[in-house]
Structure 1
Amino acid sequence: MTALERATKKKQSGGQQWLRRRWWCPGLDVAPAAARYAALAALCALCYGNSLHGELVHDDVWAIVNNPDVRAGSSLRSIFTNDFWGKRMADNTSHKSYRPLCILSFKLNILLHGTAPLYFHVVNVCLHCAVTCLLMHTCERCVFEDTRLALVTALLFAVHPVHTEAVSGIVGRADVLAGLLFLLTFLFYTRSVSLHAPDDSLPSTASPGRLLISLLLGTCAMLVKETGITVFGVCVLYDVLVLCRKPLINHLSASRLRNLLYVGGPFMKRACLISVYVVMIMSVRLWLMGGSMPLFSEQDNPASFCPHLLTRILTYSYLLSFNAWLLLAPIVLCYDWQVGSIPLVESLTDVRNVATLLLAVVMVALCLSYIFSLQRHESREVLVGMLFLVFPFIPASNLFFRVGFVVAERVLYMPSMGYCILVAHGLGRLCSLVGRWGTAVLSLSMLLLLLLFSLKTVQQNHVWLSREALFRSGIQTLPHNAKVHYNYANFLKDSGRHQEAIHHYSTALRLYPRHASALNNLGTLTHSSEEAEHFYRRALDINPQHNRALFNLGNLLKSQGKSEEAVALLKDSIRFGPHFADAYSSLASLYAEQRRFAEAKEVYQKGINNCPDNSDLHNNYGVFLVDTGEGELAAAHYQQAVRLKPAHYVAMVNLGRLLRSSNDNQEAESWYKRALQVTRKVDILTPLGALYYNTGRYEDALQVYKEAAALQPDSTDIWLALAQVLAMAGRPSEAEQMTLGIISREGSCIECYRLLSAIYSKRGNYTEALDALDKALQQNPSDLTVRAELHFSKGNQLREMNQLDQAFQSYKLAVELKPDQSQAWMNMGGIQHIKGDYAAARMYYERALLLSPGSKLLKENLAKLDRLERRLTGGA
């Protein structure tokens, strides 16, 4: 060892000893490892404790609530064939994000605790605690000599505000879990390499088992999120530049290059194994994508659609510095940085290029720092910091393929580990250069930074508590971002705040006039069919394949009777959105209206094949099958709708009605009651009340209809049904008073007069009963069937009053309006029979028998006529 090397070593040793004596928190020198880990976990819990009561927001809804693969009854196989959002990977419309292990974690959450958001958040926070503690362990073992610098790294990582999207947003679990597996892979790889190799030979593989485990963990990291695969690059470079550095330098300095290939055999085997394995799993990954890349729109990543190469290069380069700034100073954070948030860098004179140059200078300086310090043992801090910072970010850099975002804070979760290592290393170097008071100032500055970051994290967590808070924060943070206005407008639309939604849709279009989805949604909110059509057609001018605009315009034209154009639009909606279940239902219902039942059935079946997990489609197909007389098959689809969506009360009610029509009243009642366990709605209570009424359970019917009346007090039909139940339950006076009350509020209630007539007739007050029917007829009902029934009822009253001629005229009017009334024809025959006009009586009886050929009464009346005629003929 030369004198200079001894002096350098002594100086470094002295600096490290001074650091140990003068560090800002001396108590940590003696603090046990368990205490440090407990402190880190507690800090993570404190920072993210206020996120536990958040809702499922933004992408969480699509990845969990609307994802069929996450549901308890879904097949595990589909998780490994579908993308992160539940679409088949081979589908051209798939996002191509293959993260089955993350989806499995969501599914496990649901199996254990249902869809309660609390437990999803608890898991995310626990995972963040685990990553933080594992990062400190990694730094202690593989990065820093001083455990306090490892603790500083972990403390900074624990509280960094840029992590809030990854930790507080449930979808961010992919990044957090991938970070955990990234560190585990790295640790197992380093432990698989021998640390006791001679200075002149590269370290061998001490534990092949650990090396294989690292391969497995790295694969799991990739199956949680695509960026996890970058850990293999980190491992290989750490191997060659840290673990194999000393023997490599010895061989290079001693000009023993001939022996390098021989002594480097162990490393070459590891590197080849990793390389071949990465090629294999990447090939499988590409095969799963079905030979196509994900499709993104211009608003997802405007720079990648720019035709000018210079603009793309300058913008991509600036985005690197922008991400670096988010790590350095996370002051402005937003859940979405698309559509105008960061304008394109279109010229070399743009002042933002200075930030790009500054980042380039810093990165070059860090690389030179590592190169010039290769002979020093401490040089690995910069290297590991750079590896952890750069490699996990490469997939998001647009370097190899287009990504679907401009900036996404969650993708900085893993790169921030490298940033925190570099900050801790820089702090340690500064403390070794300044005096005691300088160290105190740096220590206080670090404490202040940790405090500020903690406060910012706690504050940012509030943004992720609800959809409204998240979308409103986007408006406040990036008011020039069209996407945040669009998202907030969607929330307002779902909340029924339509005027506010229109304002924000209009703002989104002002900022980005080519926002087809904003135009489409604006069309759904307008009350004018002309304006709606205008918005839909504008959306289709921008994007002719916008399946929802095609669907909405098709439905609009369908309502206007333009069936042929509607059919063409709905077919296109299905063609460009084969997994859009509503389009299948709408097209099938249009075919059914046109009585093209075979085509309607074919559309429903195609829809179920493409959208097997859509509960509404199964329910709608069940309704169609009931209407076409295939009730047994309909029951299976109603049940499937309930299996897919246990809260689908509409399918439960439809199944109850189907069972009721089959006289399976007990089973029908159980389905109605099951629907009531989901929600107490009039649409469920009224069929249940009707079931009780028709089966003579009048007291139960009264209770059900009273609840329905309380929920919907302005409904005439409910009060009338309640009055009918009272009448049948032997409480005619109450029924009369209730019916008169309905008439006083709504004088045109024809059914009310019919009920009054029945009540009066039962009492024997035929005159009042007849008067009530006359008042009903005075309303001049447009429905011919209703008018025919009223005349028939009037005929019955007149017959009871022995006014046979008037009764006959009423029956005659009834059959003129509705000739298929067998009972009216029979009563007319009966009147003629009584009056002795046997020929007319026979004619009416025979007409009634044609309509009711199985009627025993008609046959008996005809037999009586025969006997009378024979008697009369014999007498003659």
Structure 2
Amino acid sequence: VARTELGCIYLNMGNSYNDSSMVESGINELKTAIKLDPQSVNAHFELGKAYNDLGKVDDALKEFTRVLELDPLHFHGKEYYNALVNVKVSSQANDGIKQARIFSERGMFKNAVLEYENVIELQPANQVAWYELGNLHYTMENYTQALEALIKAKEIDPEQTEIYIALAQNYMKIDQPDEASIELQELLGMTPDHFSGLYMLGRIFQDKGWADEAIEKYEAAYQVVPTDLEPILQLGILYREKNDFETAKGWFQKVIEIDAGNMVASDFFANLSASQRSQEIDEAFAKASEAEKEGDIDTAIMHYDSIIDLDNHNLDARFKLGSLYESKNMFDEATFEYEQAMELDKNARYKELPLRLGNLHIRKGKIVEAVDALTIAKSYFPTNVDVRIELISQLKFKALNNFSSTEELQEFNQSIRSAVENGQNYCDWLELGLFVSKGLDAEIDEETAITQSIESFQKVLELDPGNIFAMTELAKVYHRRNMLADVESIYKQILDKDPESAYVHKKLADLYQSQLRFEEALSELRQLLEIEPMSGDYHMKIIDISKEMLAKVQDRDRQLVTLLKDYLARAEANPKDTMANFSLGYAYITLGSGFTPTEEEQQKAVYYFKLANSCDPNNLWPYWGLKIVYSKQSISGKHMYEEAIAICRKALKVDENSPRAHYELGEAYNENYEINMKNEAMQEYRKAIQLDPNYVEAHFRLASIYRVKNMYDRASEEYN
């Protein structure tokens, strides 16, 4: 007795303090008590409880069995014994069901049946075993045994809805639709919106010829699952059989939306009278046209869609749909409709189709498709210079991504040179100049390419004097040959014709800065700010050049402080001016006297960049200003690489079509010295170039990475 009580004390303390060693001591004391007195009911009972608490079912069951042998009327012993027997039986039953499922999955159906029967012998009220046995017999086409098992499962738990479906399926297999109907109606009494129940009952009613009752069930099933084909198809068939063709057409149109190739629906529309279809198409065109005039684009789209439902090959409706989707910036839908129209437009009724399609492919980054479409557009519009420019730009990008074959480029080369020899269309000369200047003629070297480019662009200017694009391209080629006086001369000629050309002002500013002609560079940048006052690039360059001008001045530090005070005064006078705050932020990290900005200067820069961002969250420059600070902090050892990447991603979310946004994100990836993200950087640089093929900085960064990767040919292409 003392050993038993001591064991109980150890067990209680071990359970209270979660001390396994004390629990073990308690068990050992109880075992000692049993050795001293094998007839001790209490010792066996307490040891059984201890084993039960530890989850040792067999050991616990052994002890409680001994308790009942010694004292058959022991109430708590019986409770524990029965509970453990149930646990053991349930565990064996679950194992049996798992084994049966494995046999069933492997096609060993007879073995599976035996396992289920063994489970039922252990647990006659195991509803899962009865239900799965019934389904297994159904699979084996033993419908009588299946029904017996499923009826038993239903008796055990009539709330399981899938049993009613299984029973109905069995009754249908043995040609007892009335019994199946009873099961399904009982199911729907419990769950009125059970899709399979509604659909199966609809089929039974339909087979009996009860059309109205079947329609009621199918429509209810459609309300539950509007995307399932079968009830919609049967509704179309039933209304067609009732000669209600208008309603049938509505349902069959829904069928086509889900399954465009459905033969039943296609046959229905094919069998509509030609005159009826034609009349409906004319009416739909009239309604669509009226909706367009009223500016109701969605309604117009709806009517053009209805025309496609009636005539899938209607070119006019396809083109109109493409145009309307494009106007709503629904570019995927517009592309699809234009592609369908292109296949239908064998006689080139809509010559602008390939041009529109090409522009959409460019927007979506589908380079190969863009080149194909623009090549066709070029044949339709031989004097459209913009088509030529875009075609060569996309062809260059196609080549950069290794999507072009040597044969394709040779074919383009021969075609362009043949056109130049046989005609005097300045567009041909312009195209040739672009082709060779972009390095697409692999048969000539770099110097020859520059020479031929100059000759081609000069020929353009002979045929079309004052062509600004040709002048701009000629200046680029002159720059590659370091003919800087000619570059300056051409840019000034362009400004005479177009004084607000931001591109040319920027190029002149860069040229003047490279020649240390600072006042002239600043003049160009100030003119740029009048044209594009929200461009942070110009604000930053003015600050950069201002600092560069003071590099060799004796009182440099004093003048830098004065300049910074000027920017501070402007920002304080205009606290809600985005660019004033942006400029001040950049001034703080640029105009300091040290090699790198101090901690205080960095903090002030962050403050004013964030203030600029709060003034106009859609202006991307404050985001990039913060990125500059984070990059500088990373260089000084703070490791703000992730912050730089995150702020650039945030800017990209504001405008995904901004070349600069992709470039800046590429820079953030490229400047990450903790993790090699060169591949991610290259991807963003390519996106920037795709959006702006003349993005020099992006080309340069790509070239640098290619060079590091020893991909010298690709690097050379980008440097060129």
Length-normalised TM-score, structure 2: 0.34
> Which structure exhibits the higher relative contact order, with contacts defined as CA atoms closer than 8 Å and separated by 6 or more residues?
1
